[in-house]
Amino acid sequence: MGSNGKRYFGTDGIRGRVGTAPITPDFMLKLGWAAGRVFGGIGNGRNRILIGKDTRISGYMFEAALEAGVTAAGVDISLLGPMPTPAIAYLTRTLRAQAGIVISASHNSFHDNGIKFFSGQGAKLPDEIELAIEAELDKEMTTVPSETIGKASRVSDAAGRYIEFCKSTIGPSLKLTGLKIVVDCAHGSTYHIAPNVFEELGAEVSAIGVSPNGLNINKEGGSTMPEELARKVLDSGADLGIAFDGDGDRVIMVDHGGRIVDGDEILYAIARNRQREGLEFGGVVGTQMSNLGLELALGDLKIPFARSPVGDRYVMQELADRGWGLGGESSGHIIITDLNTTGDGIVSALQTLAAIVGFEQSLAELCRGMRKLPQSMVNVQVANGADPTASPAVRDAVSKVERKLGGNGRVLLRPSGTEPVVRVMVEGEDAERVEALANELSELVANQVG
């Protein structure tokens, strides 16, 4: 049983190894039926659910299973084909569908797959809807009468619709003429979208990771492995590089010198430009893992900053609670609430490019006002459910490390949500000292709760 009593839904949908329950065709058939039953009661007239996917080979199998299940429940299906996750959120909203289904395991390898849902408003589902779907999964699957079985159709212009949307987010007058960009699509769902967006805005684009074969998604490239992109930028003399993950909701960049620019720095660049343009966004939400350098740099700009737990769901909730408009994670998952309802890698990259044009600075110059502090993180194996913060010895050790940092650093102990480890993170001014303190603290944690 997971969070809030859910058996299948985690913090970001349902995900796992293909062929291992619940990531199996029979489960997906039943899941489609259950979703059709729940969403079939929402809206008026003939209801419809959109289905999109990334490029991993198992997507074909699960798309067919979901289609059969949804239509058996009497709900129509519109197939989008390979599309970025944020595109599916956008199209669900603009095509007035009752829900959108994403078949993707994001930045994971092709061995994994998963399912994410969007509401008719393009937002993550609330707990009560996920619980309602799980309740339907306990029932015997039935098929509606033949005359009310759902119909399936394909949205032939899905890619074009989303390309135009992306371009609209930076206004009609801004052009990228003169910028030389390398784009890495990780052989994922942005392969036929991202290069076109930047080219149509005037940039000179060299694209890599645009030959998906079902097995190479996220392989040795993309936002989780941007080293090859950095080499391409240096070899070609490009102004910058842009890397997406397999489902297109994350972005990492590379400056002209081959230096990797992560989500914290992208957030800083976007916030700085929005302040220059006089756009009201309240403040910036990061996570517990966001670099202290981001907080300090935003403070210099008099921009408020707050932290949420790790995960885009929590960033979004914190933004909603505060009424702010900009947040994200170091991994490059950036949320700009007045542009899309979820993290959008292409839109975030465009906002950063708009800042480069607006300030008339290179990416390196744009990020110069933020100095990332050294971080060291050690994963400590622990017994399932072990809580290191419950140990007086661990709490005392954390306090000692914080005193040694003298207010110019942070200590964070965070249990992993996917494996039996505790992540021990120390951040401070001096890299060698930070690493030594992280190792020292992790050894103590291992002795106490290992």
Coil, helix or strand for 335? strand
Contact (CB, 8 A) for 280 and 286: no
Contact (CB, 8 A) for 79 and 51: yes
Tens-digit pLDDT profile for residues 71-85: 999 999 999 999 999
Tens-digit pLDDT profile for residues 264-306: 999 999 999 999 999 999 999 999 999 999 999 999 999 999 9
Q: What is the pLDDT of residue 385?
A: 67
Coil, helix or strand for 17? strand
Q: Which of 58, 78, 106, 376 is catalytic?
A: 106
| CATH 3.30.310.50 matches 375-449 | yes
In the residue annotation, 236 being an active-site residue is answered as no
Tens-digit pLDDT profile for residues 346-394: 999 999 999 999 999 999 999 999 999 999 999 998 876 677 878 888 9
Q: What is the DSSP letter of 400?
A: H
Relative to beta strand 180-184, strand 240-244 is parallel
Beta strands in 231-321 (DSSP E): 240-244, 251-255, 260-261, 284-287, 305-308
Check whether 432 has a pLDDT greater than 70.
yes
What's the average model confidence in pLDDT over 170-190? 96
Check whether 45 has a pLDDT greater than 80.
no
Domain 3-158 - what CATH class?
alpha beta
CATH topology of domain 262-363: Alpha-D-Glucose-1,6-Bisphosphate; Chain A, domain 3 (3.40.120)
Looking at the domain that runs over 176-257, which CATH code has it been given? 3.40.120.10
Q: 176-257 and 375-449 share one CATH topology?
A: no
| Domain edges within the chain | 3-158, 176-257, 262-363, 375-449
Contact (CB, 8 A) for 21 and 428: no
Q: What is the pLDDT of residue 418?
A: 62
| Total-model pTM | 0.93
Check whether 423 has a pLDDT greater than 80.
yes
Tokens read off for 45: 């007239």
Q: What is the pLDDT of residue 382?
A: 81
- CA 32, 34, 39, 40 dihedral sign is positive
What phi and psi, each to the nearest 5 degrees, are found at residue 432?
A: -65, -40
pLDDT band, very low/low/confident/very high, at 230 (cuts 50, 70, 90): very high
Torsion of CA 242, 246, 248, 249, to 10 degrees: -110
